[in-house]
Amino acid sequence: MTYESFVVNHSSLQRYAWLSVAAALATIILKGMAYWLTGSIGLLSDAVESVVNLLGAGMAVVALTIAARPPDEEHFYGHSKAEYFSSGAEGTLILIAALSICIAAIGRLINPQPLERAGVGLAVSAIASLINFGVARILLRAGKQHNSIALEADARHLMTDVWTSIGVIGSVLAVSLTGWQPLDPLVALAVAANIVWSGIQLVRRSVSGLMDSALPPKEREVVLAVLERYRNRGIQYHALRTRQAAARRFVSLHVLVPGSWTVRRGHQMMEQLEADIRNALPGTSVFTHMEPLEDPLSLQDAELNR
């Protein structure tokens, strides 16, 4: 994948983020209506999370816009890491939402209130959940296909919202059937705990990306498989290092070739090796350094192996 195609790809991903914005607006209206109809604190917690969804989707739009910018004099490796700020901020917003849900739920535990018009409220909330489920599936598929952490974070947050809604709908229905009012705020607290876990996972993954973590094990295995084919031809390597910046991958290594080779022959082999890695892992920038196999100085930097 050339950087030009990377930019075009990220520009096209913005439409998915806008889809998430539209879904968040629709579900805020529907879930807010469900809370207004029933007075359920569980449905209120569900509506609060949809507000977080809207903020997160807006951040994803901004992050994908920045990530699509080409490299410049101050950012030689591009702007793709902007996606990590989006997912990290969304994770933080999720934690704030969980805190507000806990406060509201504890207040309702202290002062229980009966639910009203539960049937209509549940129907409205169910429609909102179906919207979230459909959009989440679309975003998750696009995020994995294009290796976009911003879209994937948005999708996983929406799926968390779906499961939250299912739990809330179940609790409201149970309260309507049994009349046990504390069940509603208790489920809201359980929802908050689930949201906290989702937020922590997003923040951890974002921090990991900003810290230049290595490629995932499966992707490193792909790189090693390519290099093993060259090792079988007598080509050695060391100082292999990898990192990931959202949708972009970076691989660098030192390649040891017979000292009797001409520069032209070595260069042609290195070009082919780099192309093989890029073909195996699209969106990868490969940096190689050629060294003579027989020279002891070539092994002095072997400790750079990872």
The string of pLDDT tens digits covering residues 234-250 is 899 998 999 887 667 89
* Closest C-alpha to 202, from 147, 150, 164: 150
Q: What percent of the chain shows pLDDT beyond 70?
A: 86
Lowest mean pLDDT, pick from 130-134, 172-176, 222-226, 235-239: 172-176
Residue-level pLDDT at 266: 92
CA distances from 207 to 98, 153, 201 (A): 20, 13, 10
pTM comes to: 0.59
CA distance 135 to 187: 25
Asked if 155 and 86 touch (Cβ cutoff 8 Å), the reply is: no
Domain 3-210 -> CATH class? mainly alpha
Does the domain at 217-304 match CATH 3.40.50.80? Answer given as: no
pLDDT, tens digit (0-9, with 9 covering 90-100), for 62-76: 777 777 777 777 777
Residue 243 phi, psi (nearest 5): -155, 165
Question: How does residue 4 score in pLDDT terms, banded at 50, 70 and 90?
Answer: very low
Question: How does residue 1 score in pLDDT terms, banded at 50, 70 and 90?
Answer: very low
**What ranges do the domains of the chain cover?**
3-210, 217-304
